[in-house]
Amino acid sequence: MKILIVNTSDIQGGAARAAYRLHQALLVEGIDSQMLVQSKLSDDFTVYEPVSKIRKGLAKLRPHIDSFPVRFYKKQSKTLFSPGWFPFSDIVSRINQINPDVVHLHWITGGMMRIEDIAKIKAPIVWSLHDMWPFTDGYHYDGKFDVENNVQPEIAKSVLQINNFKRKRKAYRKVNNMTIIGLSEWLYTCSKNSDVLSDKDHIRLPNPINTSTYSPFSKIKARELLNLPLDKKLILFGAMGATSDPRKGFKQLSEALKVIDSKNTELIVFGSSAPKNANSFSQNTHYLGAVHDDVTLRVLYSAADVMVVPSLQENLSNAIMESLSCGTPVVGFDIGGNPDLIDHKCNGYLAKPYDTADLAAGINWVLGHSAPSELSIHSREKVLTNYDSKLVAAQYIDLYKGLIKK
């Protein structure tokens, strides 16, 4: 059985890391898995990228060229928008040349593929939804959360958006062998009820995680390695664009931390460097910048007493899964895929959506818990039972086998 994982990058970004983890899990199980990307950052020989220098150079330009039409629309939301229009990609021809039994698409924007290219793939298609883009008019998230949180209200759709929707509807109608993977119950439901993908087969399967790579590490040693205080309660927050993307909830975290005891707590922020208003917290704050390697992330999660993921919209968060796997409880809003991972007052706390007072209450609940070791055990058990790479890989293998038999 030959499986081809297709993603814009191999290890940069949440979707890339999730796709690459599945690729690695399949290899461990003896599956002939290969990965095809537009931008390769690893040295993994099972990951394929553009071959010629011209193709590699064009690959770097494709995201900028593909986003060019968006610049004509001044009233666009700050949410990422991908037209998926730029042609002259050899991705589909390479997919068909590799001739896999199943093509597993993940995050394919950034100029990697045109919407119309999907219909040209000959093998059965599995498509994991890492965000809402496959069934929206171009936005990766629809931004439908509380307007009081300074989210722009919905505006009249542009010609670009209308055309994108028509293109997706037309392209998807030509594909009869596509199975949609909802990584979270939330996104599964959104896609199943969407205008353009409702007629496709849907299945609910999560991302896998290597629970040996992400496992509890001595809290004292972790803090010593990272030069963090031993006598404080540490609150962890992190994501790509953690301080710049409004969807990640930096503003909501700032509000919540105003009522958290600042004498006995400190904040750790990773994924971003300090913003202009770096002194917005009463807590002493450690900005660690971008953290990419698994070893450092494991140590970082283990050093914290609580991880806070205040996202306003979220699919199946890598950060939550990684933190829980390392035995660190998580606090987040009761939205999106968070309830799939966080069991309220068992391995963390689900705050009322966008209620910063309840978010603060959740942080205090975890920090003041009488038996933190119990929270840690429940956190770890949640991942071992539902998301361990061996367990999840077996579920995907069963899916692939079923599609091949068809």
Do the domain assignments include residue 214?
no
23 and 120 co-located in one domain: yes
19 and 164 co-located in one domain: yes
Do the domain assignments include residue 196?
yes
55 and 149 co-located in one domain: yes
Do the domain assignments include residue 81?
yes
What is the rounded CA–CA span in Å between residue 16 and residue 29?
Answer: 20
Q: What single string gives the DSSP state of each residue in 340-374?
A: HHPPBTTTEEEEPTT-HHHHHHHHHHHHT-S-HHH
pLDDT tens per residue, range 388-399: 999 999 999 999
367 and 394 co-located in one domain: no
Number of domains comprising the chain: 2
Largest CA distance in the chain: 62
Prediction pTM value:
0.91
What is the reported pLDDT for 154? 53
pLDDT tens per residue, range 328-376: 999 999 999 999 999 999 999 999 999 999 999 999 999 999 999 999 9
226 and 199 co-located in one domain: no
197 and 96 co-located in one domain: yes
What is the rounded CA–CA span in Å between residue 79 and residue 59?
Answer: 23
Do the domain assignments include residue 153?
yes
286 and 381 co-located in one domain: yes
Please identify every stretch of the chain with a pLDDT value under 70, giving residue numbers as ranges: 74-77, 144-156, 239-244, 275-280
150 and 12 co-located in one domain: yes
Task: Take residue 266 and report the two structure tokens written for it.
Answer: 């400190």
Do the domain assignments include residue 213?
no
340 and 239 co-located in one domain: yes
What is the rounded CA–CA span in Å between residue 6 and residue 53?
Answer: 21
What is the rounded CA–CA span in Å between residue 69 and residue 312?
Answer: 27
Residues β-bridged to residue 140: none
The whole domain housing 138 covers 2-208+388-405
What is the reported pLDDT for 75? 64
What is the reported pLDDT for 262? 87
